[in-house]
Structure 1
Amino acid sequence: MGMIGEYARLTPAEFERAVRDPDWAHTFVHELWDAELEETPPTDEARCHDTDKAWHALDFLLQRLGFPVDIVFGEEEMPGAQEWSCGPPRCLTPEQVRAAADALTATPPGRLVEGVTPADLARADIYPTLVWERGEPLDYVTAHYEHLVTFFQAAARDGHAVVVWIN
């Protein structure tokens, strides 16, 4: 199965409640995920998103560019939250989501991987290492990046916060 980067966007009111009541947030976010598994809305309408196993490569590539917002792990831990899988969830405020969406929009996929090879990811021990050791193309990462850009643009458009976790 492996570790997967997951996201859920919350309205400002939902985000306030989530910060006050992380147990409610856990239940609410999983209900959102369940509903979207059945409906499968387009990325620009979805409240939930995942980057599959590309999360670590995305983090590596974005850090390399000096990206201004930590969109892979979130900026702050959700206060009082228990582990959702591989640690507690972290969050991005609507303002941080807006900053991330602006920076993502200004960073085309080609720029993200410019000058980087699968061998570079393997040497940096980026999960899943075996994929990069086999020399798989970075198209996998850029495809997930493009969907993540759309997801963040929609969240910013709607004034949403984002909860992030590795599952």
Structure 2
Amino acid sequence: MGLENQVALVTGAASDIGYAYAKCLLLKKVKVLLCDVNVDECQAIAHQFLNEFQNINIFSTKCDVTNEDEFENAFKTCIKHFGRLDIVINNAGVFDNSIERQWSAIVNINYGGVVRGTLLAIKYMGIPNGGSGGTVIQTSSLLAFSDNYHCNPMYLSTKKYLMEFTKSFG
């Protein structure tokens, strides 16, 4: 089964890896909801993709993965706009060298956002909940596999926690 006509929700879609995920999905004719706290950039990227590709279905919405209601609203928006949801890509993340000032934000976005996104994916795509199943993809870091402790310990620990969290779902 190919990806064509499936529906994907991508967090952290306004830059870097999220942008690349969205572009690759669109090339495979996947319908994409771009989600990011930076809604203006999300909308600009959606317009860019509409100009770059033909016959694509893309939409964007503001989504702060630390805000449970706003995150759930992104799922509802996706289903309302596209009729269903097949793929969730938990990609939103931050790296900040200012540990003392930003440690809670790093944990809440990098780990908490993935937990929220995964639980919402189960709620909206889970077969026991009336969904038709789906795929959840977590963006981590190569650092999660290394013993390189020369980076921000909050960032590194969230990425290592993320790997264990994901493994626990099998």
Q: TM-score, normalised by structure 2?
A: 0.26
Higher RCO (C-alpha under 8 Å, 6+ residues apart): 1
Q: TM-score, normalised by structure 1?
A: 0.26
